[in-house]
């Protein structure tokens, strides 16, 4: 497969953990969900935008998700207080 910035792809990491005899099944879904910009570029994902505009859009979207989550959490706390 490929290597980007010194880390193996997700599947290779799982195979390495299995070969080393380390428990990995409880982390499998988290390991397979990891996605960095370098990995997405290496596998030629069409939606990978390396421009700063696209990167800032992804960061803004991530911040919006965090804000929405915090707002839902606050609403739930207020609701439980009543």
Q: What is the pLDDT of residues 19-69, one digit of tens each?
A: 999 998 898 888 888 877 666 666 665 555 555 666 677 788 888 999 999
Does the pTM surpass 0.75? The reply is no
Q: What was the pLDDT predicted at 20?
A: 92
Task: Outline where the chain has alpha helix (H).
Answer: 10-20, 28-33, 37-42, 52-81
User: Cβ distance 47 to 58 under 8 Å?
Assistant: no
Higher per-residue pLDDT: 22 or 2: 22
Q: What was the pLDDT predicted at 81?
A: 78
Q: What was the pLDDT predicted at 4?
A: 46
């Amino acid at each position: 497969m490929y290597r980007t910035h010194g880390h193996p792809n997700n599947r290779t990491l799982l195979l390495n953990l299995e070969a080393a005899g380390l428990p990995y099944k409880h982390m499998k879904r988290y390991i397979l969900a990891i996605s960095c910009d370098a990995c997405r570029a290496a596998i030629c994902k069409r939606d990978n935008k390396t421009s700063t505009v696209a990167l800032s859009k992804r960061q803004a979207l991530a911040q919006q998700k965090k804000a929405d989550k915090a707002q839902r959490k606050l609403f739930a706390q207020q609701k439980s207080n009543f």
